[in-house]
Chains A and B, each alone.
Chain A
Amino acid sequence: MKRRDFIKALPLGVAAVGVPFSLGGFAGRAFGRSPVLDSILNGSDGSDRVLVLINLAGGNDGLNTVIPFTDPVYAKARPTIGFGPASHATLSTTNLSTSIARQDLALNPAMAMRAGTTQSMFELFSTKKLAIVNNVGYPSPSLSHFRSTDIWNTASDSNVVLTTGWLGRYLEEAVDTNYPTDVKTGDDPLAITIGGAPSAAFQGTTFGMGIAVLDPSNYLTAGAPQAESTASTNAGAELAYVRGIYQQSDIYANQFTKYFTKGQTPKNTVNYPSTNIAQQLQRVAWCIAAGMKTKVYFVQLAGFDTHISQNATDPSVSGQAQLLMQLSQAIGAFQTDMENAGMADRVIGMTYSEFGRRVNENGSNGTDHGTSAPQFLFGTQINGEVYSSHPNLTDLDSNADLKWAVDFRQLYTSVLGDWFGVSPQMRKAILMDKTTSGEQFAFNIPVNGTSTVQSLIKTPAVRSVSSAPQPLDFVLNPNYPNPFTSSTTVSFALARTMPVKLEVYSERGERVAELANATLGRGTHEFVFGANGLANGTYICRLEAGDGVLVRQMTVVR
């Protein structure tokens, strides 16, 4: 098997590796185009994009994170630990409804806290760099920390046990090689956990696809392994595993030496707080700023299992508020650092926590295990909005827990497809989607209080990850008429049944319409694009089908 240069591909490396990509009717590159549009047309192929996963371990209480403070049911369910009327003045400073959310919601005030001159999570939201996705969960929720964490890490159904992580499967497909055997000198780690053991989300079929590094600026090797066979016994399997870790440890040694000078602490553009989570993110920032091509980083903030001491308002008293403050300060510092360093358009972060907590507080100033909760994505490339409605506190399941509205795998679809450019077929495979039509976990969640469905990612990646470059088996025809005044017809032909996504983008890179998002059969398909309400100018029609992407330019003239 030949390794594809996924990790080493440059932002414009699409053509270099021969992945099918067409500029359609475009005649070369125009001057003065926005970088965002450039990215839609030429790729970002996703190859220089970074995801930072932030695990909130223990089960973060969603109702005191994104707070439905005017809901009388909330007040009744949380008489002791809730944000009652007395705290409404405080909540006005983090009120989401005054800005974007169309519901009466406020962020926990601890999330308005920032470190030094950096930003808080609330400020990230106000500047549209933080997406809040309400009510994320999955069917038949497990209330076990460990089972539910496994479900999130492996992206499995609740009743299915998988041994590979969702990012492990993605990275396996991305490198398409025997890892780590075929890793070449000059390759960077595919994924890094800041800590002692790699995240289960990175677990591949035969080996972990990520490595653990405590301090990237002081990387140590275990010593060169010997290429020896191992017995096909339990003992041989464990020895082979240890050898593999030696090998992983050894192959990246040169890279870390290249990026970091031993004994010299790398510099950041901001001062990070001294909390553990901030220090972890600071180390991630070192790697990104140094130019490492690692795709995914994993950091963790633990302690959210607030069965007790969850008093609502005061970070110095409440376990949860203290953690949310640390999170806000750490994420804000990291985001500011990335912006100052000019890296921000390449990096997004996403939180996940195994579950939210019971609606009704318990008798110990705390909450027991529950189900769905809000999750966050941040970055300059995130469409900062509140997505989905806040959960209905009166429509509970049989265990008096919230009913989810967004499957967490829908977030994964967004990250894989729109951020990393994974093709619909491949992301279906990665997410174990066995449906025959469309995508089971397509991100079709409307913005809070509207019917608008938009991507979480501002500029979707265009490169598709597939097992091998191959000729396209679909065609995007020129739209007719073009230019047009009120509407135009877009048609395309498919050589076989395949998942299809047809979208229209403005020149600034905003998605203005999604014309199709389904699995369609062989033959020609037509969609009408209405330009009502759109300004004169150039629009980009983007067709993602099978394993490729085609784009065409359309012009509105009135």
Chain B
Amino acid sequence: MPLLSAITVLLLNAIMDRRSFLRTAGSAAGAAALLDAPIAPLQARQSSQADVAAIIKRTERNRDMVQSTLAPWGGSLDAHTTGHVYRRAGFGGTVAELKAAASLTPSALIDALLDDKWTLDANMPGPPSHAQTWMLLPPYQGTDLQRQIQQNIDDSNARYAIRRSWAVEMSRPSTMLREKMVYFWANHFVVEAQKVEYPHLLLPYLTYFRKHPWGNFKQMVKDVSVLPAMLYYLDGWYSKGRNPNENYARELMELFTLGVTDKDGNPNYTEDDIKAVALALTGYSIDFSTATVNGFPAIYTISDHDSSLKKPFSSLGAPIRSYGLSSSLHSVPDDIIDCLFQYRGDKLAYFICGKLYQYFVYHDISGATEQAIISQLATTFQNANWELKPVLQQLLKSEHFFDEANIGAAIKSPFEYMIGLARQFDIPLDEFQTGTLEMYGLSLLNQSLLDPPNVKGWPGYRSWVSTTTLPIRNKYLASALAMTGGTTGIPAWNGVTGYGENYTGILWSDADVLKWAAQFGEYKGDVHHFISQVATFLCAQPPASDFLTTYVFAPLSFPDYEWPTMPDADRVIKIRTILTAITTLPEFQIM
């Protein structure tokens, strides 16, 4: 086929696709239609024969043709693939970290990140700043208005302290996968700080996931079902006797374990199942009078538990029982959650593995991916008796994870973006700096940690970038950090923490910029080579060299032969300009 005809066919396909609105339930081809047609770039470039050839060449690597599987990747790590691991299984890495990690085998690198030692008490972070001022005091429950107001202010300050300290944890390299899993779970077993106002509930909630980032999922579901933050968020502590509150039971199945339907569009549960599970989970409350380092405890009161016979999943043959009649705190979830896993295990395995796949690899699960990847992971998950670690090992060590087609296939979330920016520029973050980042997230980027918009969590992926959020990223964060002309960093958010200290900016001194640049070998030699190396480090899919010449070098407006002899005072300005140009490219938004 002549090249131009091929382009025409592509365009026609794109146009035809636009008309085919209808996607049936369970067809993973649905969202794929959105992706099949990069109309704009193709049209813009079809005049140039050279470009057409390039497009055709790339098109041959059609995403539906991807043959990579879950087989262990046999390649060796380099800066490109190590960077991929650090971005996807963490929040980005420094030049030095990537260099060191590239000497490992892929398997060894993943195992080091998945090491259980990161879940031990000894490796738990210390409490957030000022935790001692609120963590051990029960909240004021009296009627004095002034004290009530003060309690609200104290709680608000403490919530911010928890968020800031979490962002600091994200920036630590050794425990980055643990924190990436906490980030995942907090968007899976969602609570909203807007409703769960008590820091005494929120901090233990985060700590739970830090201690069980890749543990046994069945145990997690049992534990989370009676985690005080969850009891509070989805009204479990209100649900008593024969007059239950369905909030938790519904989301338990819809969002936390099964999904509404399976991949073929069949319902995974019925309204009767929800009612049965809601009845089974009655009898819990929270003791707000006892504050401990573990927050407020959950209480189970057997007289508040509905003792009638319940028929969850009755069409599947689940036993008709009253579920959970012992007086132990865990008797109810142990009983009903076991039932859920026993009778809906296959659906559950598929749902959870699909969500992990989306998080670590690609948001759009095609039919081919369903068969080749998700179903295999689900089998691993079930065979491992709901242990998560084997699933993560299989996925993160696979040739599919390292497939070039999937490197750069995720759009950075605000915190992946902000923490990543600091990590890639090797700027350590403290709580006062992450306080500034938190305010950017909250006010302008659509993400305030622990406060997703609803029980489903942030929709994520493509929804992170919009005509509102992208300009903020570029103007206030990337450009600011690399900007010339007096400002040498992200300015402090205008405000103080609730404890009287100032949020601080994230500064990057000229000396640090030069030190950073010096990591790129002969960086004073050829400016084009330097730009290319920096772009390769910063971007998951670095632009081609002719692109960099046009869009990064040309705007510098100086003859490249001046670069080697340029005084450092001038060079640092040029370097910042280069970094601004690269970090504001679309290529920097993907990871």
B409 at the interface (CB under 8 A from A): yes
Q: Does B561 contact A (CB under 8 A)?
A: no
Query: In the assembly, what is the distance between CA of A204 and CA of B239, in Å?
Result: 42
Most central of B20, B33, B407, B409 by chain A CB within 10 Å: B409
Q: List 17 A-B contacts (CB under 8 A).
A: A159-B25, A181-B40, A181-B43, A197-B464, A197-B468, A197-B469, A220-B472, A223-B474, A225-B586, A229-B42, A234-B66, A234-B362, A234-B406, A242-B586, A245-B465, A307-B246, A363-B245
- In the complex the two chains form, is B14's CB within 8 Å of A206's CB? yes
**CB distance B466 to A233 under 8 Å?**
no
Per-position contact with A for B303-346: 1 when CB-CB < 8 Å, else 0? 00000000000000000000000000000000000000000000
Note all chain A residues with C-beta closer than 8 A to B33. Answer: 163, 205-206
Instruction: Determine the chain A residues whose CB is within 8 A of the CB of B517 once the complex forms.
Output: none
Asked if A468 is at the interface (CB within 8 A of a chain B CB), the reply is no
Q: How many A-B residue pairs have CB under 8 A?
A: 256
Q: Which residue of B21, B255, B453 is within 8 Å of A432 (Cβ)? A: B21
Query: Cβ of A197 and Cβ of B470 under 8 Å apart?
Result: no
With A143-B271, A364-B239 known as contacts, the answer to whether A249 contacts B467 (CB < 8 A) is yes
For the complex, give the distance between the alpha carbons of A206 and B364 in Å: 14
Docked-complex contact B453 and A238, CB < 8 angstroms: no
Which residues of chain B in 180-204 are interfacial with respect to chain A, using CB atoms and an 8 Å cutoff? none
Q: Could you tell me if A206 and B470 are in contact, using CB atoms closer than 8 angstroms?
A: no
Q: Report how far A57 CA is from B453 CA in the complex, Å.
A: 10
Give the B interface residue count (CB, 8 A).
Answer: 97
Q: Are the C-beta atoms of B454 and A161 separated by less than 8 Å?
A: no
B contact residues around A83 at 8 Å (CB): none
B547 interface residue (CB < 8 Å to A)? yes
The docked-state distance in angstroms from the alpha carbon of A144 to that of B471 is: 34
The distance from the CB of B282 to the nearest CB of chain A, in whole angstroms, is 9
In the bound complex, residues from chain A placing their C-beta under 8 Å from that of B556 are none
Stretch at the interface among B56-64, B101-109, B210-218, B508-516: B56-64
Task: Verify B541–A239 contact, CB threshold 8 A.
Answer: yes
Within 8 A of A (CB), among B471-510: 471-475
Contact B467 A212 (CB under 8 A): yes
Q: Which residue of chain B has the shortest Cβ distance to A233 in the bound complex?
A: B405
A252 CB contacts on chain B under 8 angstroms: 467
Query: Distance in Å from the Cβ of B351 to the closest Cβ of chain A?
Result: 14
Query: Are A229 and B55 closer than 8 Å at their CB atoms?
Result: yes
Chain B residues near A142 (CB-CB < 8 A): 260
Interface string of A227-256 (1 = CB under 8 A from B): 111111111111111111111110010000
Nearest A residue to B59, CB-CB: A232
Query: Looking at the complex, which one of A243, A245, A362 makes contact with B466 (CB distance below 8 Å)?
Result: A245
Task: Please state if A163 and B241 are interface contacts (CB–CB under 8 Å).
Answer: no
The yes or no answer to B408 lying at the interface (CB within 8 A) is yes
* 13 extra A-B contacts, CB within 8 A, seeds A196-B468, A214-B468: A144-B260, A159-B265, A178-B39, A181-B43, A206-B39, A222-B471, A229-B41, A236-B63, A237-B35, A238-B410, A239-B586, A308-B235, A368-B247
Contact, CB under 8 Å: B241 / A227: no
Q: Does B37 contact A (CB under 8 A)?
A: yes
Instruction: Determine the distance from Cα of A409 to Cα of B408 in the docked complex, in whole angstroms.
Output: 39
> Do B58 and A238 touch across chains, with their CB atoms under 8 A apart?
no
The answer to whether the Cβ of A4 comes within 8 Å of any Cβ in the partner chain is no
Say whether B254 faces chain A, with CB atoms less than 8 Å apart. yes
Majority SS at the chain A contact face: loop
Residue B40 contacts which of A220, A240, A366 (CB distance < 8 angstroms)?
A240
The reply to whether A244 and B590 contact each other, CB–CB distance below 8 Å, is no
Contact with B19, one of A205, A237, A366, A432 (Cβ below 8 angstroms): A205
Closest A residue to B25 by beta carbon equals: A161
**Structural contact, A197 and B463, CB atoms closer than 8 A:** yes
CB distance from A237 to the nearest CB of B (A): 4
- B31, B409, B585: the one within 8 Å of A163 (CB): B31
B58 contacts A220, C-beta separation under 8 Å: no
- Check B406 against A235 for contact (C-beta < 8 Å): yes
A residues 158-217 near B (Cβ < 8 Å) are: 159-164, 169, 172, 178, 180-181, 195-198, 204-207, 211-214
**Nearest chain A CB to B441 CB, angstrom units:** 11
Which 8 residue pairs are nearest across A and B when measured between Cβ atoms? A363-B243, A220-B471, A227-B44, A196-B446, A364-B238, A233-B405, A234-B409, A235-B408
Once the chains are docked, how many angstroms separate the CA of A121 from the CA of B334?
49
Identity of the chain A residue whose Cβ is nearest the Cβ of B271 in the assembled complex: A399
Q: B303: shortest Cβ distance to chain A, in Å?
A: 14
Query: How far does the Cβ of A545 sit from chain B's closest Cβ, in whole Å?
Result: 23
For residue B454, which residues in chain A have a CB less than 8 angstroms away from its CB?
57-58, 145, 302, 305
A146 within 8 A of B: yes
C-alpha spacing A7/B142, complex, angstroms: 59
Contact A229 B245 (CB under 8 A): no
Interchain CB contact under 8 A, A231 and B21: no
Select B41's contact among A160, A197, A243, A363, beta carbons within 8 Å: A243
**Cβ of A532 < 8 Å from any Cβ of B?**
no
B569 at the interface (CB under 8 A from A): no
Is B584 within 8 A of A223, CB to CB?
yes
Contact yes or no, B547 A226, CB < 8 A? yes
| B23, A162: Cβ atoms closer than 8 Å | yes
Contact flag A228-B41 (CB < 8 Å), given A233-B63, A236-B58? yes
Asked if A508 is at the interface (CB within 8 A of a chain B CB), the reply is no
CB-based nearest B residue for A231: B58
B41 close to A232 (CB less than 8 A):
no
0/1 interface trace, chain B 231-274, chain A, CB 8 Å (1 if under): 00011001111011111001000110000100001000001000
Chain B residues with CB under 8 Å of A214's CB are: 444, 468
Does B74 interact with chain A (Cβ within 8 Å)? no
| CB-defined contacts of B254 to chain A, threshold 8 Å | 144, 146
Q: Which of A226, A230, A231 contacts B551 (CB 8 A)?
A: A226
B27-A242 in contact (CB<8A): no
State in angstroms the CA–CA spacing of A190 and B584 once bound together. 26
Residues on B with C-beta less than 8 A from A162 are 21-23, 30
Residue pair A244, B58 in contact (C-beta under 8 Å): no
- Is B225 part of the contact surface with A, judged by Cβ < 8 Å? no
Q: Write the nearest CB–CB distance from A335 to chain B, whole angstroms.
A: 26
Q: Are B40 and A243 touching (Cβ within 8 A)?
A: yes
Q: Does A369 contact B (CB under 8 A)?
A: yes
Q: How far is the CA of A364 from the CA of B278 in the complex (A)?
A: 13
Instruction: Determine how close the nearest CB of chain B comes to the CB of A222; give it in whole angstroms.
Output: 4
**Contact of B395 with A by CB under 8 A:** no
What distance in Å separates the Cβ of A381 from its nearest Cβ neighbour in chain B? Answer: 29
Judge whether B409 and A233 touch: CB under 8 Å: yes
Of chain B, the residue at the smallest CB distance from A399 is B271
CB distance from A196 to the nearest CB of B (A): 4
Q: Which residues of B contact A238 (CB under 8 A)?
A: 408-411, 462, 590
Q: Does A34 sit within 8 A of B, measured CB to CB?
A: no
A228 touches B547 (CB 8 A): yes
A235-B38 in contact (CB<8A): no
B235 neighbours in A (Cβ, 8 Å)? 307-308, 364, 366
Nearest Cβ on chain B to A100's Cβ, whole angstroms? 35
A144, A160, A432: the one within 8 Å of B250 (CB): A144
Across the interface, which residues of B come within 8 angstroms of A163, CB to CB? 23, 30-31, 33-34
B276 within 8 Å of A by Cβ? Answer: no
- What's the least CB distance linking B189 to chain A, in Å? 16
Report the nearest A residue to B541, measured CB to CB.
A235
Q: Are B243's CB and A362's CB within 8 A?
A: yes
Q: Are B245 and A308 within 8 A (Cβ)?
A: yes
| B130 proximal to A (CB < 8 A) | no
Give the docked Cα–Cα distance between A160 and B55 (Å): 35
B33 to chain A, nearest CB (A): 6
With contacts A144-B250, A238-B409, A369-B246 known, is A206 near B34, CB below 8 A? yes
A392 within 8 A of B: no
Q: Given the known A-B contacts A222-B467, A234-B63, A240-B40, are A227 and B245 also in contact in the complex, defined by CB atoms under 8 Å? A: no
Tell me whether A236 and B38 are in contact (CB under 8 A): yes
A246 vs B465: C-alpha distance when bound (angstroms): 9
Choice from B17, B37, B465 contacting A242 with Cβ under 8 Å = B465
> Which of A164, A198, A221, A234 has its CB near the most chain B CB atoms (within 10 A)?
A234
A205 touches B34 (CB 8 A): yes
User: In the bound complex, do residue B587 and residue A239 qualify as a contact, i.e. CB atoms below 8 Å apart?
Assistant: yes
* Residues of B with C-beta under 8 A to A307: 234-235, 238, 245-247
